[in-house]
Amino acid sequence: MKLHRVDSSGIRALGYDPDRELLCVQYDTGSVYEYSGVPEDLYRRMIAAQPHPWSHYGEEVKSYPSRRVR
């Protein structure tokens, strides 16, 4: 999955796989988490909400199952 750099404090990049409804978030710390079951609309709203996508949608994203991948 390709990650797209975002202008945000706290997160460095976002990626999305629509076939698996999987959102990938790379944090400024270098950690990478995958959130499953995330609708594509939420990813699109996050991309459009720059410069602060995590401030607007972080709590919503955290409500989905996640796992640390790096």
Q: State residue 32's pLDDT score.
A: 97
Domain boundaries along the sequence of the chain:
4-68
* Torsion angle of C-alpha atoms 13, 50, 10, 16, degrees rounded to 10: -30
Rounded CA separation 28/45 (Å):
20
Q: State residue 8's pLDDT score.
A: 83
Q: State residue 42's pLDDT score.
A: 94
Q: State residue 17's pLDDT score.
A: 98
Q: State residue 28's pLDDT score.
A: 92
Handedness of CA 17, 20, 21, 23 (dihedral sign): negative
16-66 tens-digit pLDDT:
999 999 999 999 999 999 999 999 999 999 988 877 888 888 889 999 999
